[in-house]
Structures are given as C-alpha cells and as structure tokens.
Structure 1
C-alpha cells in the first residue's frame, strides 16, 4: 500500500499520496502514521479527488479530520477537470471533496495535473474563476495548480492566470536538467512570477532510493550514514521559495526516516551539492532512448499509442533498474493504447527529429511491461 495522504506543515514538508488504486487503504496504519507525523511537529496533508479510486479523501477524514482539531493541520486536495464530462460535474467535485473529508475548507486547493491537452477543460469549465469565487467564500485558503509540462507551458499558464497563489511542480535532482521534465526551468519560471513552489516527486517515485551501484557508491562514500532518500529530499527542500516537499511514504519506517531528515533540516552544502551533481552525471550517462517528448510521433499514430510514455518507461529501467516504477508509469500513461498495439507502419519514425527506431523500442517496451 502507498500512504494515501501525508505531508508536513513546517516550512518544508514530507508527505504525499498519489496512489492510483490497488489494495485497500489500511486506515489503522494511516492513523498511526498521522499520529507520529503530527507528534513530530508536521501538519500538512495532501490528497486528491481521484487518489486510490476516490478512497483517499474518506481515509483522511477517518485518520486525521475526525481525530484532530481543524486548526491543527493543513489539508490539500485537487480537482481533476479532465475526469469530468461537464462544467457542472467538474465544479461539483469541490463539494464532494468537502463532504468526503469533512474538512469544512481546504488550506490548499489545486487544479489537478495540467499540461498539454489536459489543460483545456479547466478553461472550458471556467474553473479558474470558480476557485477564486470559492476562495472568496472561505472554502479555499490558497488556490493553485499542479502541472506536468515544460517551462514554456507553465509560463503561459501563469501569465494567463496571475491570480494563483502557488504552483506544484515535479522537482528532483535526476530531472533537474531533464529536457522533457525541465525541473530547473519550471522552478525558475515559477519564481520569476513571484510564486512559492510545492515540490512533488522529489524521490522520483522511489527511483532515487533504487540507484545503480555507481551512483549509490558516490552518495555512500560522501556520507555513509545518510539514507539515500535524504539526498533527494534535501536537494528539493534547499531551493529558495519552496513551501513544502511531498514524498510518498508506504510505512512508518519510511515516515520516520523522512521526518528525521526534515525535522532538523539542513540545506545542502556546496560540497554536498557537488556530490549530487556527480550522481546526476552518472544517471545521465545511462544508455537511454533520446526522446524529447516533442510528440510528433503521437499525432500521426493510427493506434494512438502513448509512445513518449513507453519510451520514458524504458529509460526508467535503463537509469534506475526500477521495474516497479517503470511498469507503473507504463500502465498509467499508455492505458488502453499499449505498445503491443503497434502495427509497424513507421509513421512515427518518419517524423521523429531524433531518428529513434520507435517501432523496435515499442516492441521492447511491450515485452518488458505487458
């Protein structure tokens, strides 16, 4: 099980729960984790309308809202407009989230997972104006959005919607200079717009604790007693303007480790930052598929295959050997259009600026992940 909700409320925070379904939530364990988390002085909890097939918000009610005074914690949840078929359905998600959690209001409310074609429903349904209205009514304290897209797309959104209070970005040291994720560039755009940042994926879904031997050796030599996750958390939390760092925790042991890192937080020193840079260099040297996510291949694919997602999963395997993460990314991102549905027409390869042998790579992805 992945913990469906958890984060801290100090200036830097350590919890998140982007579960995509699976086994039932162990609410008893969540209660125990909430108690230790709150007892350590942390108070920010993150959930979403769709997490764990809708079961995450009721779980946080039982584990947190029903057991602690409302003013003692901060709660964030998210509105996924792309999962709605109408403006009324999308707007109704806030009322459902309030009913599920019993929270009365949300400290942080996010338009969930913008980027590419997923951004349009938020415009079509008038949700930017909707959240500002609900903020004025006191149901939302801080309004923002999460995004998985490049820096140019983020800049366009923030220029069009300067009213937002914060932005949630994928930031970790492996993706800092990644040309697809553009962690650094996105962070710099947010800061240029004067916005604080909430960090998601600081440990890259767990991949940064499953490092290849050469990368692991660099960190272990630099500090034998430091957990691998601590390097990732401290990298993200050392950035100026970061409100909180969300990190999925599956059990009390992981939570205790993360709390230990953040309770007595120390920013990375210049020497430690150089160590992290060496690790990033090792990861970048892995023989990955040179996909830049331009998506030219997707536009002409008669099978509508999520080609960039399949290639990304291959790269997760190449860089980290993290089969669980690679398969999770593949299943979530390709959905009903897997690599095995490729008919070998070659339309993708004719338009690929990187001249990738896409059909061969899709065959490899199908063999590894299906």
Structure 2
C-alpha cells in the first residue's frame, strides 16, 4: 500500500480507499469479508454511504472491528429511511441519520464528517442557515467530528466552501470523462477550471478524496466510454492520483473480486499505469496544459518537469511555499536544453521547452 499525508492533521491515508455504492449487491458475509481483506491489504480510508440501506449493518460490524486502524467518512445529509439512498438539507433527519451511522459502527466519532453532496447555491444556503452547518461546527468542536469535510461535483460550490477556511478534506468527482467531455452532469466545469480548483485545494491544504474515478464504470467499457475505447482501472486511478491535492481515490466495489482488481494497481508496471492514450481521444481544441502526469520522463537534462510545472502554477496564485519548493529543486527550468524529448511524449500537447523558458523568467533563476 502507498500512503499520502492529509495536510491538516497529518493523518496517513491509503491512496486507494473504498467506496461502498455497489455493496448492496453483496451478501452480509461478502460485505464483511471485503472490508476485512481491504484492511489486511493496507486500505485505511472508507466511505460509509452505500446506495441502499441493506449493507449498512454489515459494514458497521466490519468497520467496528477495525475502528482504531481506519478512517471513515460519515455524511450529514444522506438518508436511508426508505431503504434506498436519498439526501436532504433538512437538519433534523440529516443529523439523526448521521448519529445512527456512528451507532452502527459502534463509535463516538467520525474521522471525517461530511457536509453531503451540495451542488446548488440554494442547497448550500439551506445547509448554512438551516441547522446542519451549526451542528457540524459544534460536533467538530467537541471531537465527534475529527475533520470537517464536504462533497460536491461543482467547482463553484467547492470554492464557496473553501472560502470558509474550516475544511480539511473535499470529496470531488474526478476522471478523464468529466474533465474532457460534457457527457455527464457530474463533470461540471471546463478542464482548465477544474485543474485550477485542484490547485486551490492544494494551496489551501485541503486534501481531495476522489469519487467516481471510473465515471460509474463507463470509462471501463468501450461501448459506453465517450472516448470510444476502454481505459483500465489502473489508468483511471493513476490519472486521479496525478492531480494536485489528491490524497486518495475511492472506487465503489461490489465485493472482494472488485477489491482484488483495485489492488492490482500496486503491481502494475509504469506502462500499465500510463494513460497517454487519452492524447488520441480528448478534444484537441482544448488548451494544452501540463497535468503533472510525468509521462514526459525521463528528462535527458534531469529536470523534474511535472514538479516544476506544479510549483510554478501554485506560485502564480500566491503559494510562497510552492515557490520555495521550486527554489530548492536540484535542477531548475532554466537548465532545459530544448531537446524536445518531453514534447514528443506529452499526451496533452504541452510545448515544454517554451514552458520552461516562461517558468525560468518568472523565478529569475
């Protein structure tokens, strides 16, 4: 297992966590076995929000067994009163359901207490003024919520929530389909704005847990993919992990077979993780931007091209720490020899020698 550190609090989080949207199709025994095997493999981050109520009790039992070793996302606004998942901005049922979820795990705290699935201004206004916001703040103050978090598909809503400066984690939908096409209501915003948002998360020290990394499975099926070809789970996971601010990717699973498919990521070769095939799929009219994927490596001059671009983008929006990280690199943009090796390998059409000249001029090094 690989781990990343949550900027606020220093928690070590497994880069692959576990979503639970598909667990309603598994038996209780399979649900518990899936969680047990995930923890044994080093997975320590779990989202406690299945798409039906059926697996809640089994998930609660399994998570309780591993309570000291796992981080659990518990949402304020998810409902299961009718047996299927629903959501609300009404404080009374949202709070009652949140507390029932804690009771199901047999715990008195949530590692991450989520303001749940806010995509519209009106819904956020109801949360802010209708009791959920005050409840979440109070529970964070008394330790019932260790880290405050939110989930959204909207860059605009994410920015409104980031502006409150109270969050440690954001759950955001991230995959190539949402970034490069308009095929889904979940993929809101142009790719440049979505990338800018991820840099804003990183600058604010707010970690990102990725939902929908496979676009609900569409990217894994050539017949459903908007790109006309299938990507692998490994490619989609790597795509998400390469983005700024991301600490963990939470694919949904139906049972142990899906879990084993996810864990194969750690045995994958660099070639199997390579998603540069997207260069032949994404609209070429989109502005060429470095996404820090490092497909351009190795640089003949020894430059860490992805890091150089990342620190530059963050420094330009005022992140002095990123600027300092750039200055401390062993090699800087001004040492680019302009050989074009990176241009030939870049799946997103970035002309890096020109970019390196721009970065060198900015830093004056």
Normalising to structure 1: TM-score of the pair?
0.61
1:192 aligns with 2:193: no
Aligned counterpart, 1:181: 188
1:300 alignment counterpart: none
- Cα deviation 1:135-177 (Å, max 9, x = unaligned): 121111111111122x233223322x22111211110011113
How do residues 319-330 of structure 1 correspond to structure 2 at under 5 angstroms? none
Match of 2:216 in 1: 205
Question: What SS class does the counterpart of residue 21 from structure 2 fall into?
Answer: coil
Contact kept, 8 Å, 2:89 with 2:126, in 1: the verdict is no
The reply to whether residue 78 of structure 1 matches residue 89 of structure 2 is no
1:247 & 1:197 partners in 2: Cα distance?
A: 14
Corresponding residue to 1:13 among 12, 16, 31: 16
Counterparts of 2:53 and 2:225 in 1: how far apart (Å)? 40
Once the two structures are TM-superposed, the CA of residue 92 in structure 1 deviates from its matched residue by 2.8
Q: Do the aligned partners of residues 83 and 277 (structure 1) sit closer, same or farther apart at CA in structure 2, a change above 3 Å counting?
A: same
The change in CA–CA distance for 1:112 and 1:281 in structure 2 (over 3 A counts) is same
Residues 203 and 247 in structure 1, CA contact (< 8 A), matched pair in contact too = yes
- TM superposition shift of 1:79: 1.3
Q: Partner residue of 2:308?
A: none
The separation in 2 between residues aligned to 1:216 and 1:130, in whole angstroms, is 43
> For residues 64 and 189 of structure 1, do their structure 2 counterparts lie closer, same or farther at Cα, with a shift above 3 Å needed?
same
Shift of 1:235: 0.6
Kindly indicate whether the alpha-carbon contact (under 8 Å) linking 2:209 and 2:247 is maintained by their aligned counterparts in 1. Answer: yes
Pair 213,246 (structure 1): closer, same or farther in 2 beyond 3 Å: closer
Aligned equivalents of 2:180, 2:227: Cα separation in 1: 20
Shift in alpha-carbon separation, 1:32–1:88, aligned structure 2, 3 A: closer
Structure (1 or 2) with the greater helix fraction: 1
C-alpha distance 95-215 of structure 1, shift in aligned 2 (>3 A): closer
Q: 1:169 aligns with which of 172, 197, 203?
A: 172
Give me the whole-angstrom Cα distance separating, in 2, the residues matched to 1:53 and 1:279. Answer: 35
Change (3 A) 1:85 1:122: closer
Matching of residue 122 in structure 1 with residue 127 in structure 2 = yes
The answer to whether the 8 Å contact 2:32/2:58 transfers is no
Name the TM-score, length of structure 2 as normaliser. Answer: 0.62
In the TM superposition, residue 199 of structure 1 has moved relative to its aligned partner by 0.5
- Indicate yes or no: 2:137 matched with 1:132: yes
Q: Is the 8 A contact 2:77 2:115 kept in 1?
A: yes
Q: Is the 8 A contact 1:234 1:268 kept in 2?
A: no
CA contact (8 A) 2:153 2:173 kept: yes
Residues 94-109 of structure 1 mapped to structure 2, 5 A cutoff: 94-109=98-113
Does the Cα contact within 8 Å between 1:14 and 1:259 map onto a contact in 2? Answer: no
Whether the 8 Å contact between 2:14 and 2:42 is mirrored in structure 1 is: no
| Corresponding position of 1:234 | 238
- State the Cα distance separating 1:186 from its structure 2 match: 3.4
CA distance change for structure 1 residues 129 and 228 in 2, over 3 Å: closer, same or farther? Answer: same
Residue matched to 1:272: 274
CA contact (8 A) 1:234 1:266 kept: no
CA contact (8 A) 2:198 2:244 kept: no
Question: 1:277 Cα shift?
Answer: 2.9
The one of 82, 92, 97 aligned to 2:96: 92
Deviation for aligned residue 1:90: 2.9
Distance 1:215 1:122 in 2: 35
> For the residues of structure 2 that align with 1:165 and 1:214, how far apart are their CA atoms?
33
User: Cα 1:103–1:73, aligned 2, differ >3 Å: closer, same or farther?
Assistant: same
Q: Which residue of 2 aligns with 1:40?
A: 41
Residue 336 of structure 1: aligned partner? none
> Do the aligned residues in 2 keep the contact of 1:113 with 1:145 (CA within 8 Å)?
yes
Q: Secondary structure at the match of 1:247?
A: coil
Aligned residue for 1:77, secondary structure, equals strand
Unaligned runs of 5+ residues in structure 2 are 1-11, 79-85, 287-365
CA distance in 1, matches of 2:13, 2:176: 22
1:14-73 alpha-carbon deviations (Å, 9 max, x no partner): 420235x965x511011221222111111211113xx344344322112231x33x2111
Instruction: Give the stretch that moved more between structures: 181-190 or 98-107.
Output: 181-190
Deviations 1:197-244 (Å, cap 9, x if unpaired)? 11000001111111249999977xxxxxxx811111111112232111
